[in-house]
Amino acid sequence: MNEVNNHKVPSASATVKTEVVCPNDANPMGILQGGRLVEWMDIGAAVCAQTHAGKICVTASINHVDFNAAANVGDIITIGAKITRAFNSSMEIFVQAFARKVLQGKKYLISEAYFTFVALDNNGKAVPVFAVKPVTALEKEQFNAALLRRRKITIKKNKSG
């Protein structure tokens, strides 16, 4: 299971979700609605978090969603979700969404975001999760950056609260 001493490697819970943009997912111009894309990204991130934690997980926050390009009706959307770091009961999940034009086969990045999930017990209380053991250079970079993002968010909350 890639689980060693209460640590799990990011690849053990990496998730890929695929959707097709249908007319009811799009605005009147035939462009995928941002809210629908974020919904799909949230589901992919939830599966990743729940696979890592082995528990039901809920969305705590979405940090900095970038919409880089549009997708249109008929495009195939591929969403990749991978854990970057676990804290106590929370986990940061990095999500990227790509669109592919079916007839052209061209795949391009349309969105990326960081989601934070919290693992819950059967009573809805937060519970500890496995730590993350990054393996690749990119995973180690994302692992360290996750702590910096968390610190910035904590500072911002303390200033406004």
Kindly report each contact of residues 3-8 with a partner whose C-beta sits within 8 Å and lies 24 or more positions away, as own/partner. Answer: 3/130, 4/133, 6/130, 6/131, 7/130, 7/131, 7/132, 7/133, 8/52, 8/83, 8/130, 8/131, 8/132, 8/133
pLDDT in tens, 72-122: 999 999 999 999 999 999 999 999 999 999 988 889 999 999 999 999 999
CB 83 within 8 A of CB 102: no
Looking at the chain, how many residues does it have?
161
pLDDT at 1: 43
Residue 23 above 80 pLDDT?
A: yes
Q: Which domain holds residue 94?
A: 3-160
Both ends of the chain: CA-CA distance in Å? 41
CATH number for the domain harbouring residue 65: 3.10.129.10
Q: H/E/C letters for each residue in 92-107? A: EEEEEEEEECCCCCCE
pLDDT at 3: 52
pLDDT in tens, 113-158: 999 999 999 999 999 999 999 999 999 999 999 999 988 877 766 7
What radius of gyration do the chain's Cα atoms show?
17
Instruction: State how many domains the chain has.
Output: 1
